[in-house]
Chain A
């Protein structure tokens, strides 16, 4: 059974300490989405993020459960920052814990791809 931590915050993301839920965990995969100075052709000082939070949270939980049916993972931690995020700061943090690296890497990759396709979160570029 996958343990899920899904959170949105307007504060700078602080990476939570790794807490291994069992002695079986052999893989910890982490991803950070960092705001870049260049988005398309624009030189930015940051990005503004907004979300339809209630729908986003529901869809993220559903998405993670679905992926976990195929990729044996123990836990997922998802933190997305909203509001203004300056360049070089983290807008998204994802951590997946599993017994083996394969499922953890695949879970992480698919979760991010599908979040970017379907979960109602938006970035608005601001110079």
Chain B
């Protein structure tokens, strides 16, 4: 039986220096819920170096290699520096 990955939309957010690098702050993209953030980013922006970044899915820090699941927003979080 063929497994059809349900393709849905997710908002990809970028902040601070990552937004400057990518040239956008927000972009809608298609993904499959069993895709991981690492695979999603490798597919969308292969040139982006993610080693120094964290990733958040629906405002919660997320493992780069765990499935994104049913989410609406994924954010690239460069090193934070508030205060």
Q: Which residues of A contact B (CB under 8 A)?
A: 33, 49-52, 54-56, 58-59, 80, 91-92, 112, 115-124
When chains A and B are docked, how far (Å) is the Cα of A118 from the Cα of B61? Answer: 10
Q: Is the CB of A51 within 8 A of B59?
A: no
Name the residue on B nearest A117 (C-beta): B80
Size of interface on B: residues with Cβ below 8 Å to A:
15
Which residue of A55, A58, A122 contacts B16 across the interface (Cβ within 8 Å)?
A122
Chain A, interface SS category: mixed
When chains A and B are docked, how far (Å) is the Cα of A92 from the Cα of B78? Answer: 20
When chains A and B are docked, how far (Å) is the Cα of A58 from the Cα of B61? Answer: 12
| B81 interface contact, C-beta 8 A | yes
| A55-B59 in contact given A50-B16, A92-B83 (Cβ < 8 Å) | yes
When chains A and B are docked, how far (Å) is the Cα of A55 from the Cα of B83? Answer: 16
Which residue of A33, A91, A118 contacts B80 across the interface (Cβ within 8 Å)?
A118
| A49-B82 in contact given A58-B59, A120-B56 (Cβ < 8 Å) | yes
Which residue of A50, A52, A112 contacts B83 across the interface (Cβ within 8 Å)?
A112
When chains A and B are docked, how far (Å) is the Cα of A33 from the Cα of B82? Answer: 10
